[in-house]
Amino acid sequence: MTPENEAAARYFSAITAALSGLEVFMRDDRSPLYRHGIVAKIVAEYIARLDKSFSCWRNRLGFMDTFRISRADSGYPVFQNLLELENDRRQADSRLANIPQGGELREEMADFILRHKEFPAALQKSMAERLYLEDVKSEATFGPFILAQTAKVSVNPKTLRPYYLVHWASFDGSANLPLVYMVTVEDSSESMVRQLVDANGKLNERVDIPLPVDGLLNPELAHRFDDFTEKNSAYTLSPATIAVNLDKDFEPLHPKQLRRVVLGPFYSAGITENNSTVTEVLAKVRKSENAWLLTWTIQEVFSKAEKPGRRGLFSSEKTTQEFFINTDDLEAARQGVSSYENHALIPHEAYQALYAAGEAQKIFSGYKVHILSNGQVISDV
């Protein structure tokens, strides 16, 4: 195995272990994030997509020589890899038609070994390509942009408007980071209020809503909403900016809360160079599959009040939200949020190494630390 292949194998083992551990954390009813219920469930679904992408990329290495990651910044694959994955998904059927079936390839490989007493490298590449294309066809990967879904519908008893929990995701091409967005938005469209709110001010039980629904539940705004989310999902935009833009661009929509989950950076011994102290300590971890650290940030901005709109003969103003920015916290003000949480997930062996080196307190200052041990996540350490 070449040094490049060894490094790739270590990287894939580490990131797969990290994402699996993070998914365990998100789905564990004992985890501190589980109090958000549906939020943790939604994030876990996107983590599963990321995991699927890495499974595909690992297969791709069987027939392609290059795979680039953002070593000095996020620790994730560079954006080009996602574009190639998406392109391969679209072309999968036509390419598979030109590759023999798996059973046929296995027979040819066995026959080649018997006749030539050599490893059938070309046939192995064809098999790897077939496995990759069959995997990538599923559409369950984490693409450059993942369209919105409505995950929950209810009615605000005070405003008597229906509200939706809508989520979407993107992979930021500049920061090379996966981003998950969730917004709770009230809808004052007359047609939606009429359909969804009953005479008692509750959700109309006679309307069948097969959740999750692709896109925004309001069909008149769904396409515009998709366009908006695709243009307003950059990491450089603060959650407050995105919420204000949404409030401004859609007269009947009233965003009450917007969350962004930034899944990274990721640190891996011998691979990433995004933190010299972490890299040096992780390099001392005995088992390479335990020499990693995954961080994530949950950002939130919420509306503290609603300014009523007015309609006049010559001019009118739409109802607008007043979003709360915590200016008492300099970091919250810098991020453009009401609140934020920094989290870190690390294997037990790696945490012990950081602790023994006297670096744990400094590295994890301001973070909620979660330790992965024997397939379980221990929090509040």
Same domain, 151 and 293: yes
What pLDDT score does 1 carry? 43
183: in domain: yes
pTM: 0.93
What pLDDT score does 142 carry? 96
What pLDDT score does 33 carry? 62
On the 0-12 / 13-18 / 19+ scale of CB atoms within 10 A, 103 is exposed
Same domain, 220 and 359: yes
DSSP character string of 108-160? HHHHHHHHHSS--HHHHHHHHHHHHHHHHTTS-S--SEEEEEEEEEEEETTTT
Same domain, 74 and 168: no
**CA distances from residue 359 to 99, 247, 281, 365 in whole angstroms, order as listed:** 52, 44, 8, 10
Same domain, 93 and 194: no
What three-state secondary structure class fits 18? Answer: helix
124: in domain: yes
Same domain, 189 and 154: yes
What tokens appear for 224 in the block? Answer: 């515009």
**CA distances from residue 237 to 167, 227, 244, 259 in whole angstroms, order as listed:** 17, 16, 11, 13
55: in domain: no
Number of domains forming the structure of the chain: 2
DSSP character string of 169-229? EEEETTTTEEEEEEEEEEE--HHHHHHHB-TTSSB-TTS---SSEEB-S-TTTHHHHHHHH
Same domain, 178 and 226: yes
295: in domain: yes
Same domain, 237 and 169: yes
| Count of other CB atoms within 10 angstroms of residue 178 | 24
Same domain, 122 and 219: no
Question: Among 89, 104, 138, which residue terminates a domain?
Answer: 138
Query: Distance from CA of residue 375 to its chain's centroid?
Result: 21
C-alpha dihedral over 248, 249, 251, 257, to 10 degrees? -60
108: in domain: yes
What three-state secondary structure class fits 54? Answer: helix
Question: Among 138, 171, 188, which residue terminates a domain?
Answer: 138
Same domain, 181 and 291: yes
Same domain, 80 and 164: no
Domain that holds residue 348: 145-379
59: in domain: no
Query: Distance from CA of residue 98 to its chain's centroid?
Result: 34
Residue pair 89/139 in contact (Cβ under 8 Å)? The answer is yes
> What is the C-alpha separation between 286 and 280, in angstroms, rounded?
13
What pLDDT score does 150 carry? 98
Q: ∠68-72-76 over CA atoms, to 5°? A: 50
51: in domain: no
Enumerate long-range contacts of 206-214, CB under 8 Å, 24 or more apart.
209/153, 211/150, 211/151, 211/152, 211/153, 212/149, 212/150, 212/151, 213/149, 213/150, 214/147, 214/148, 214/149
> What is the C-alpha separation between 164 and 152, in angstroms, rounded?
6
18: in domain: no
Question: Among 115, 138, 161, which residue terminates a domain?
Answer: 138
> What is the C-alpha separation between 83 and 173, in angstroms, rounded?
10
Q: What does residue 309 show for φ and ψ, rounded to 5 degrees?
A: -80, 170
| Count of other CB atoms within 10 angstroms of residue 57 | 25
C-alpha dihedral over 140, 341, 257, 217, to 10 degrees? 10
> What is the C-alpha separation between 288 and 128, in angstroms, rounded?
25
Same domain, 278 and 169: yes
What pLDDT score does 381 carry? 62
What pLDDT score does 2 carry? 55
10: nearest Cα among 279, 291, 351: 291
What tokens appear for 96 in the block? Answer: 């598979």
> What is the C-alpha separation between 162 and 273, in angstroms, rounded?
48
Q: Enumerate residue ranges in the chain where pLDDT < 50.
A: 1
Burial 187-222 (b: 16+ CB within 10 A, else e): bbbeebbeebbeeeeebeeeeeeeebbebbbbeebb
Q: First vs last Cα of the chain: how many Å apart? A: 39
Same domain, 163 and 311: yes
What pLDDT score does 138 carry? 79
| Count of other CB atoms within 10 angstroms of residue 104 | 11
